[in-house]
């Protein structure tokens, strides 16, 4: 067995500020198939991708988790609204444009493959890792938005990846920390989580399998290590013939990387993603090949699927660097915001007028650490006199809440201290509104309910300004809630 052929199955991380270019070039010499980039500036990403591709004797694919645009990870790129914000708009046009902008900026920097869209369903308020990364709770909306996003990516030369198969939505655990279990029976999966995959599988460049225990299909193995899930359900039942990759092998849902990596390949995965110990995984694959568990034919089939993606990329020349964070891309969020903002409840029951005083509040957050400075500035620009909220002063309350998925956090919604502070503020106000600049599920189960709640689904400055305009009566929120509270 050619060790370089085995190495092409492996895609290590390249984390700017941690991984050195020299070390990555050594991995290229060993034969890795590509890298998953994290962080960096636009200049650093461009240079690293150029150097690594030039050093490789086989087509090297660079991938990244640019779910919300290049700027979500790269300094100097454009950050875009979350999927849930796009889902609230119900606009396939906005979903496609998000894909187009992401692809243009990524390809300009040398990144070929976007590990998106997330097609998990946001059906569990306490899910700490899906939430606003999902388009919504409904599979039809998800399939429509994700399909339009894929069209946008592909139209500008980037590859996509549906994730996290067979569905990470209906769990309250973060697979970065533990192995989640999804309790649906097979019919439950068929009626919900599998629907977007059935709708989109034949259009997908790749599908990422999650580190999830799904007893409906395999009572023993995580989905990412399960032949019943990958070969049986995904390739057999859904008829998917493209690239299958694992979620990151370093996640704590798995124990170790070498043996799970071998098991994932034997289960049907073509690419083993993000190992912290590439040489250890190379050795484990070589041992399995020596023992006859991995055959030349199996490896050749996986590499042929990779080659097909490389050929697709080669047909689409990369755009120039001038597209990265260009004025047109920066304008997208402001243009999209009115269609994405949605009232959770209380439309018409709270408003602010020029000359009126309002107290601004973020739970358990000092004024110097406010995340809503753009929101406060926009309200002030509309003539509202905004001050830090003072309980019992007769002020109207405007509470800004910023909550979004964070890998390895294990939680997303407000803790007890934040909830208590918010409840006390609402009770002592002369009228109140919550502006949720992230998870809409923070609105569930409040001890004191405000008069109104407006959801922006992300904290981008353009969305903060848009929310301010809605509260001041200068604009209308025309989105619809894509989830149930």
What CATH code would you report for 341-471? Answer: 3.40.50
Mapped onto helix, strand or coil, the DSSP state of residue 227 is: helix
Provide the pLDDT for residue 447. 87
Average pLDDT (319-329) is 97
Q: Is the CB of residue 282 less than 8 Å from the CB of residue 6?
A: yes
The torsion defined by the Cα of 424, 427, 432 and 435, in degrees rounded to 10, comes to 30
Q: What is the DSSP letter of 236?
A: I
Q: What is the DSSP letter of 393?
A: S
Mean pLDDT of the chain: 93
CA distances from 219 to 126, 174, 182, 214, 453 (A): 24, 19, 11, 7, 42
Q: Where are the domains of the chain?
A: 3-323, 341-471
Q: Is the CB of residue 92 less than 8 Å from the CB of residue 148?
A: yes
Query: What would the two tokens of residue 68 be?
Result: 């919300």
Strand partners, 244: 207
Query: What would the two tokens of residue 395 be?
Result: 């002020």
What's the CA gap between 317 and 325, in Å, rounded? Answer: 19
Question: Which residue among 5, 164, 168, 176 is the active-site one?
Answer: 176
pLDDT in tens, 99-129: 999 999 999 999 999 999 999 999 988 888 8
> What whole-number percentage of the chain has pLDDT above 70?
96
Contacts of 379 (CB under 8 A, 6+ apart): 352, 358, 360, 386, 398, 468, 471, 472
What's the CA gap between 155 and 147, in Å, rounded? Answer: 12
The CATH topology of domain 3-323 is: TIM Barrel (3.20.20)
Identify which has the larger pLDDT, 418 or 324: 324
* Active site annotation includes 5: no
pLDDT in tens, 368-378: 999 999 999 99
Provide the pLDDT for residue 255. 56
Left if phi > 0, otherwise alpha if psi is -120 to 50, otherwise beta: which for 157? left
Average pLDDT (285-297) is 95
Average pLDDT (465-484) is 97
Question: Which residue among 247, 270, 329, 451 is the active-site one?
Answer: 247
* Active site annotation includes 176: yes
pLDDT in tens, 177-236: 678 888 778 898 889 999 999 999 999 999 999 988 899 999 999 999 999 999 999 999
Give buried/exposed letters for 125-147 (b at 16+ CB in 10 A, else e).
bebbbbbbbbbbbbbebbbbbbb
Phi, psi for 382 (deg, rounded to 5): -95, 10
What's the CA gap between 294 and 114, in Å, rounded? Answer: 28
What's the CA gap between 143 and 20, in Å, rounded? Answer: 39
Provide the pLDDT for residue 411. 60
Query: What would the two tokens of residue 479 be?
Result: 């989105």
Q: Does residue 335 carry a pLDDT above 60?
A: yes
Mapped onto helix, strand or coil, the DSSP state of residue 176 is: coil
């Amino acid at each position: 067995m050619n060790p370089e052929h085995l190495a092409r199955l492996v895609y290590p991380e390249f984390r700017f500020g941690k991984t050195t270019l020299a070390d990555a070039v050594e991995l290229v010499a060993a034969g890795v198939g590509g890298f998953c980039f994290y962080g960096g500036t636009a200049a650093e990403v461009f240079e690293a991708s150029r150097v690594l591709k030039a050093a490789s004797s086989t087509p090297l694919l660079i991938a990244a988790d640019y779910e919300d645009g290049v700027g979500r990870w790269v300094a100097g790129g454009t950050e875009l609204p979350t999927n849930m914000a796009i889902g609230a708009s119900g606009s396939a046009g906005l979903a496609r444009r998000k894909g187009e902008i992401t692809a243009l900026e990524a390809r300009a920097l040398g990144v070929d493959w976007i590990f998106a869209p997330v097609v998990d369903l946001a059906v569990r308020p306490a899910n700490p890792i899906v939430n606003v990364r999902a388009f919504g709770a409904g599979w039809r909306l998800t399939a429509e938005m994700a399909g339009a996003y894929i069209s946008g990516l592909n139209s500008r030369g980037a590859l996509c990846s549906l994730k996290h198969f067979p569905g990470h939505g209906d769990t309250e655990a973060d697979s970065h920390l533990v192995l989640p279990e999804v309790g649906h029976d097979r019919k439950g999966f068929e009626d919900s989580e599998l629907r977007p995959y059935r709708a989109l599988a034949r259009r997908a460049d790749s599908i990422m399998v999650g580190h999830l225990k799904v007893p409906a299909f395999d009572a023993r193995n995580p989905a990412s290590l399960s032949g019943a899930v990958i070969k049986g359900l995904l390739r057999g039942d859904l008829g998917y013939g493209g690239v299958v990759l694992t979620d990151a092998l370093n996640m704590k849902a798995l124990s170790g990387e070498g043996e799970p990596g071998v098991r994932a390949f034997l289960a049907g995965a073509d690419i083993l993603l993000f190992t912290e110990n590439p040489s250890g995984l190379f050795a484990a694959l070589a041992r399995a090949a020596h023992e006859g568990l991995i055959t030349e034919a199996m490896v050749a089939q996986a590499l042929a699927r990779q080659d097909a993606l490389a050929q697709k990329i080669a047909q689409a020349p990369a755009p120039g660097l001038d597209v990265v964070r260009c004025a047109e891309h920066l304008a997208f969020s402001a243009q999209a915001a009115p269609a994405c903002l949605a009232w959770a409840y209380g439309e018409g029951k709270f408003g602010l007028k020029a000359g009126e005083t309002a107290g601004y509040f973020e739970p358990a957050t000092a004024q110097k650490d406010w995340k809503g400075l753009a929101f406060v500035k926009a309200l002030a620009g509309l003539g509202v006199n905004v001050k830090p909220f003072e309980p019992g002063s007769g002020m109207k309350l405007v509470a800004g809440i910023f909550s979004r998925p964070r890998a390895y956090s294990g939680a997303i919604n407000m803790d007890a201290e934040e909830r208590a502070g918010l409840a006390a503020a609402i009770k002592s106000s002369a009228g109140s509104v919550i502006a949720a600049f992230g998870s809409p599920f923070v609105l569930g189960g409040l001890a004191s309910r405000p008069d109104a709640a407006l959801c922006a689904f992300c904290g981008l400055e353009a969305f903060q300004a848009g929310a301010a305009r809605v509260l001041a009566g200068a604009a209308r929120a025309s989105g619809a809630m894509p989830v149930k509270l």
